[in-house]
Amino acid sequence: MEQTVSNLPDGTAYRISGNGKPVIFLHGFGESGEVWDLQIKELSKDFRCIVPDLPGTGLSTGAFAALTEKSLEALAFKVKAIADQEGLNKFTLLGHSMGGYIALAFAATFPHMLNGFGLIHSSAYADSEDKIANRKKSIKFIREQGAPKFLEQMIPTLYGEKFKAEHQDIIDAHLASALSFDAEVLIAYYEMMISRPHRTGILSGAQIPVLFIMGTEDKAVNLSDSLAQCYLPAESHIEILDASGHMGMKEDPERTTIAMKQFLMHLNEN
């Protein structure tokens, strides 16, 4: 698979592979664009796949300092800048978890630029009071104990129990790729998520198809929340991954890829 890397003027990097209708993939918290590698390998055969590393992650570590406004809306404007730089008038936006929160912020501001979007283990709900309290505890923990200790505890919780027991190597690799994160970056992303609004109105008002991929063992975005939201759009495409946690891209890569491919093919036909 051939890839090229481009940058926005602020240093936000994104990889491009494949030809065809454009799709932008947004990774989640504590990840970089590499989280989509298994999907891109397959989807780049039919689509032009554009995979940013959000500021402070992967190849975009330098771009974090240039982020003057720290909000998910500001990150949605980065997506717009990438789309403009690539000359995209219309594209599909797929986001994992926090990447889905950014996709919703994008859909709120630039709905005319999307032909469909996907929430992969993600949600249109704002943080509950419990979630905010937990994030604040985590921020305190990161400040006191450092980012690596936090990630060592957090990353395994993203996976389903059976997968965790059988694939320690994949969890170790995820952790190794995340250990370079700065505490400051992780804290800023938590603060951005705490202050994001409820966006169920974007789902109920969606004039375009929406893909939902859920995991039955997801503890970060639980199944019942996802099920309660997937009937909101006029047209939803739904994949429920049995025994998957929050990381279907790695826990059930084939089904995740097929669900995305079917969704993208459907958008092309319409």
Pick 97 or 257: Cβ nearer ligand MLT:
97
Task: Please tell me the count of residues contacting ligand MLT according to CB under 6 A.
Answer: 7
CB of 13 to ligand MLT, least distance (A): 19
**What's the CA gap between 6 and 3, in Å, rounded?**
10
120 touches ligand MLT (CB under 6 A): no
220 touches ligand MLT (CB under 6 A): yes
AA identity, residue 5: V
Alpha helices in 158-199 (DSSP H): 161-166, 168-178, 183-194
Pick 44 or 163: Cβ nearer ligand MLT:
163
**Partner residues linked to 119 by β-bridges:** 95, 212
Select from 25, 29, 91, 150 the one that contacts ligand MLT (CB under 6 A): 29
Binding mask 86-115 for ligand MLT (x = CB under 6 A): -----------xx-----------------
What does the CA dihedral 52, 57, 59, 65 come to, rounded to 10 degrees? 100
CB 163, CB 251: distance < 8 Å:
yes
Pick 10 or 225: Cβ nearer ligand MLT:
225
| 160: its two tokens | 């389903």
Select from 193, 208, 211, 259 the one that contacts ligand MLT (CB under 6 A): 193
Task: Quickly count: other Cβ atoms within 10 Å of residue 17's Cβ.
Answer: 18
Closest residue by beta carbon to ligand MLT: 28
72 touches ligand MLT (CB under 6 A): no
